[in-house]
Amino acid sequence: MPTFTVDGKQIEFKQGQTIIEASRFAGIEIPHFCWHPSLSISGNCRICLVEIEKMPKLAISCSTYAAEGMVVHTQSQKTVEARNAVMEFILINHPLDCPICDEAGECKLQDYAYQHSRGESRFEEIKVRKEKRVQLGPHIKFDGDRCIMCSRCIRFSDEIAKKNQLTFVQRGDKVTITTFPGESFDNPYTLNTTDICPVGALTNQDFRFKSRVWEMSKTDSVCIGCSRGCNTEVWVRNNEILRLTPRHNEDVNSYWMCDKGRLETFKNVNAGNRIDGTYIRSEGQLQKVSWNEALHVAAKSLKDYKSGEIAFIGSAYSTCEDNYAFVKFAKSLGVANIDYADHIISGDQDDILIREDKTPNSLGAELVGVQPGSSGMNILAILKAIKERKIKALYVMEEDVISFDGEWESTIGNLDLLIVHASNENRTTALADIVFPASTFAEKNGTFVNFQGRVQRIYPAVATEEMDRALDGMEMSRWDKFGTEFDRWMQGHKYDSKPSWKIFVALSQLLGLKMKYNLSEEVFADIANTISAFKGLDYDEVGKHGTQLKIKQTANA
Amino acid sequence: MAGQKREKDLNIFEKLYIPEIAKGMALTLKNMFRPNVTLQYPEVKFEPPASYRGRPVLVQENNGVERCVACGLCSRVCPALAIEVQASETDLEKERYPVKFEINMLRCIFCGFCEEVCPEEAIVMSKDYELVFKNRNDAIFGKEKLLVPVENLKDRLEFLRKFK
C-alpha cells in the first residue's frame, strides 16, 4: 500500500483517497465543516486547509488526493494561522448566541471556536441578518442567521434522499438556503440534515428546545419502524425518550434513518395509554391485579384447554428472545398452532432505506420458530378455526390482532380465553381476559434480525419498575447518577412491565414446565445452541454493529 | 520545679498585678462607650453588602420578561445539582425562554457559580438570607419565587460589572 506522511506519522492510503479521509482512518482528525464521508466533496468551508510540502499554497485536505511520499502538516504554524483566519471569517456573520441556540453542545462551529480561533471577535460592524424560524418542511425549522453555507443539507437531499429540493439563493454575504419555488422540503429523510448540519441552522421541530444534549443519556438501539433495522441512539432524560438519532453502520443504514422511524417509533414508550401492571377481567371489566394473581389465573385457565384448542400468535415486533421463549412455551404445552402476522405495506419501499415490511424482526421470528408446527395451523387457519369454535383459547404476544381486519374483529368474540401481552392499550387488550404488560424495545435487552439476515442488539434505555439504572448497567446522565427520589427531575415514571420472555418463564414455572432463564443472554445462548442460523453467537459476538447470520437471503421482507 | 528557669521572669509591675488589672478594666470601659455591633435580630435585620451571596434569583426586566434564555449553563455548572431548567420557544426576539426554572434550596450551597457562568447576567446572588422551610417541597423555588425586578438588584449588578 502506498504511504504518505501526516504530522510525522506514516499513513497508508488507498489510491483515490483524499488526505482528510486517509488521515481520519489513521486517527488524525482534520477539522471540517462541509466535508462528510458519505457526501460528495464541496470544498467551500476552507477549514480543512493543510500545509503540504513542495506545494506553493495551503490546500484543502478534503479535495486533495493523497499521493505517495506526500508530506502533510496539520499543526504547523502556517496551517494553524490559516485555520484561525477561516474560523474568524466564518464567525463574521454568525450570531454569537450559543446560549439560545439549540445546537449548543453538539455544534461543530462551537467546538472549533474553542479549539481553533482567536477566542475573541475583532468584528465591530453590524452582522448581516437573514430570515429566522423558516418552516422549511413539515419537520424542520431553518435559521438563516446561523447557517454557514456548508451545503451539506443541499448535497444530502440531492445525493442521498435523491430529491432536488434545497438550493442556495443570492450571492456573497446575502446567500441563504431555501426550497425551490413550489417545493417543500418534505422527502422521507429530511431530518438527517439536522444531524449533519454543523451548526444550529436546521433544527428538528419535534426536539427543538426540549433539552440540552448534555442532560440526556444515550443508548445504542435499533429502529423498529421497518425491517431495515437502522442503528440508532435513544436519548433519554428523566426516564423519558426525547429523540432518536441514527448511529453509523455502513452495512445497514450508513449515517441515516428515515423521518418516520425517527419521529414515530418511540412515541408509544411514554404514551398515556401504556399498560402499567397486570389486568384480569372480572365482572366484565379489566381489573388491575398483582403479578402473582394474574400469572396464577393465566396458568390455571390455560390448563382447562386441550392443546388442539389453543393457538399462539407471536410478533415480529418482539425480539428474538421473546419469540423464542414464546415458541418454547407453546410447544411445551403441546400446541402446534403457532404463527405471526406480517405487516407489509406493499409499495411503501424505496432504494434508500425504507422497506415494505414494517416490523423489525420478521426474519428473526421465523428463524426462532414462530411458524406452525407440522400439524399446526397458520394464522388464516387459526382465524377460521376460531370462527368454527375449534380454537377456544388464543394467546397473543405484542400484537393487535383485532385491528388486522373486520373478520378478526367479528370473530374474536367466539373465544373463551384471550391472553394478551401488550405495551400499550389497543383494541385487542380492550377485549382480553388477561393482559400482561410487555416492555417496549426501549426497555429491554434483546436482538432483532433485519431483512438482510443481520442480527442486531438493542439495549434498555428506559427503566421499568423492575430495573435500576446503575445496577442494570444502563447508560446514565449526570442527573441519573446523582439524583435522589426527592429531586423533581428524577421522578420520571417507571412502568410496571416485563419483557415477554420473562412472563413466559414465570408462567412455565407455575405450569411445571422446563424453562428457566434469568437473563436475556441466557435465552440468546439457548437460541445459539438450538438454532443453526445463530450457531456460535453470543451478545459479545453480535457487538455494536450486529453480525450477518449464516442463512440464505429470503426474497420477501 | 526547682531549678527550672521560667521563659520570662516577671518584672516588678507584673508581679504586683494591679496595673494589669487596671489595664483590663480600662479596655472594658472603653468598649462600653463604643457603638453596638450586636443586632437585635429578628426585630432588626442585617443589611448585607453588595458582595454578599444570598439566595440566587432571576432578574426580571422592566417589561416583565425574564432575562434568562434557558441555556442551561447554570444547571450544568451547579456542583450541587440544585437547578433544573426546562426551555421552550417564544415569539420574542430571544426565541428561547425557561418555561420552568426551579432551584432546590436544600441543594443550593450558595457558591455563586451559576451567577458567574450566566452569559445573560440573568441569575444573580441576592441579599436574601432568610430561608426557612417546613418540608422538602417548599424548598424548591419556582419562577414565581425566583423572579425579582431589576431595580431591587441594582447593587449586585453594579458589583458584578465592577468585579466580575
Please report, for chain A, the start and end positions of each structural domain, with discontinuous segments joined by +.
3-91, 278-458+496-548
CB pairs under 8 A between A and B: 49
Of the residues A242, A489, A490, A491, the best mutation for testing chain B's interface (the one with the most B CB atoms within 10 Å of its CB) is A489
Asked if A483 and B95 come within 8 Å (Cβ–Cβ), the reply is: no
Asked if B81 and A482 come within 8 Å (Cβ–Cβ), the reply is: yes
* Residue-level pLDDT at A553: 56
Query: Which residues of chain A lie closer than 8 angstroms to B133, CB-CB?
Result: none
Dig out the grid coordinates for A272 from the structure: 398515556
CB proximity list for A231: less than 8 A, separation 6 or greater: A220, A221, A222, A223, A246, A247, A248, A249, A252, A253, A456, A545, A546
The proportion of chain B whose per-residue pLDDT surpasses 90, expressed as a percent, equals 82
Dig out the grid coordinates for A267 from the structure: 412515541
The residue count for chain A? 557
Please report how the helices A291-303 and A500-511 are oriented relative to each other, as an axis angle in degrees rounded to 10: 60
**CATH number of the domain located at residue range(s) B56-163 in this protein:** 3.30.70.3270
Q: Which chain A residue is nearest to residue B122, measuring alpha carbons?
A: A99
Residue A219 phi/psi, 5° resolution?
-125, 135
Asked if A99 and B76 come within 8 Å (Cβ–Cβ), the reply is: no
CA distance B89 to B98: 9
Q: How far is A480 from chain B (nearest CA, A)?
A: 11
Q: How far is A265 from chain B (nearest CA, A)?
A: 23
Q: B114-151: per-residue pLDDT in tens?
A: 999 999 999 999 999 999 999 999 999 999 999 999 99
* Residue-level pLDDT at A555: 45
Q: Which chain A residue is nearest to residue B137, measuring alpha carbons?
A: A486
Asked if B96 and A209 come within 8 Å (Cβ–Cβ), the reply is: yes
CA distance A370 to A359: 14
* Residue-level pLDDT at B36: 85
CA distance A288 to A294: 9
In A, residues 473-532, which contact B (CB 8 Å cutoff)?
Answer: 478-479, 482-483, 486-489
Query: Which residues of chain B lie closer than 8 angstroms to A209, CB-CB?
Result: 70, 87-89, 96
A104 touches chain B (CB under 8 A): yes
CB proximity list for A251: less than 8 A, separation 6 or greater: A452, A454, A545, A546, A548
Asked if A132 and B95 come within 8 Å (Cβ–Cβ), the reply is: yes
Q: Which chain A residue is nearest to residue B142, measuring alpha carbons?
A: A488
Find where cell 424560524 sits: A133
Q: How far is A67 from chain B (nearest CA, A)?
A: 46
Half-sphere exposure of A258 (CA within 13 A, CB side): 23
* Residue-level pLDDT at A556: 46
Q: What is the DSSP code (8-state) at residue A308?
A: G
- Per DSSP, helices labelled H in A156-289 are 192-196, 259-264
* Residue-level pLDDT at B12: 83
Q: Is A415 left (phi over 0), alpha (psi -120 to 50) or beta?
A: beta
CA distance A118 to A92: 13
A137 touches chain B (CB under 8 A): no
3-state class (DSSP) for residue A447:
strand
pLDDT tens digits in sequence order for chain A, 557 residues long: 899 999 999 999 999 999 999 999 999 999 999 999 999 999 999 999 999 999 999 999 999 999 999 999 999 999 999 999 999 999 999 999 999 999 999 999 999 999 888 778 898 999 999 999 999 999 999 999 999 999 999 999 999 999 999 999 999 999 999 999 988 999 999 999 999 999 999 999 999 999 999 999 999 999 999 999 999 999 999 999 999 999 999 999 999 999 999 999 999 999 999 999 999 999 989 999 999 999 999 999 999 999 999 999 999 999 999 999 999 999 999 999 999 999 999 999 999 999 999 999 999 999 999 999 888 899 999 999 999 999 999 999 999 999 998 899 999 999 999 999 999 999 999 999 999 999 999 999 999 999 999 999 999 999 999 999 999 999 999 999 999 989 999 999 999 999 999 999 999 999 999 899 999 999 999 999 999 999 999 999 999 999 999 886 554 44
Quickly name the fold that domain A3-91 has.
Ubiquitin-like (UB roll) (3.10.20)
3-state class (DSSP) for residue A443:
helix
Mean confidence (pLDDT) of chain B = 92
Find where cell 493543510 sits: A50
CA distance A388 to A309: 11
Q: How far is B148 from chain A (nearest CA, A)?
A: 21
CA distance A168 to A393: 62
* Residue-level pLDDT at A557: 40
Residue A458 one-letter amino acid: I
**CB neighbours of residue A466 within 10 Å:** 16
**CB neighbours of residue A164 within 10 Å:** 13
| Within this chain, domains A3-91 and A278-458+496-548 share the same CATH topology | no
Query: Which residues of chain B lie closer than 8 angstroms to A212, CB-CB?
Result: 71-72, 76, 87
**CB neighbours of residue A195 within 10 Å:** 17
Query: Which residues of chain B lie closer than 8 angstroms to A100, CB-CB?
Result: 69, 71, 94-96
A210 touches chain B (CB under 8 A): yes
* Residue-level pLDDT at B3: 62
Query: Which residues of chain B lie closer than 8 angstroms to A482, CB-CB?
Result: 81
**CATH number of the domain located at residue range(s) A278-458+496-548 in this protein:** 3.40.50.740
Give the residue from A359, A422, A321, A351 showing the smallest Cα distance to A223.
A359
* Residue-level pLDDT at B8: 79
Find the CB nearest B72 among A97, A215, A482: A215
* Residue-level pLDDT at A186: 93
Give the residue from A495, A489, A438 showing the smallest Cα distance to A463.
A495
Q: Which chain B residue is nearest to residue A104, measuring alpha carbons?
A: B71
Asked if A208 and B120 come within 8 Å (Cβ–Cβ), the reply is: no
Q: What is the DSSP code (8-state) at residue A243?
A: E
Q: pLDDT category, B2, cuts 50, 70, 90?
A: low
The residue count for chain B? 164
Domain boundaries defined on chain B: 56-163
3-state class (DSSP) for residue A526:
helix
Q: pLDDT category, B9, cuts 50, 70, 90?
A: confident
Beta bridge partners of A548: A454
CA distance A419 to A437: 11
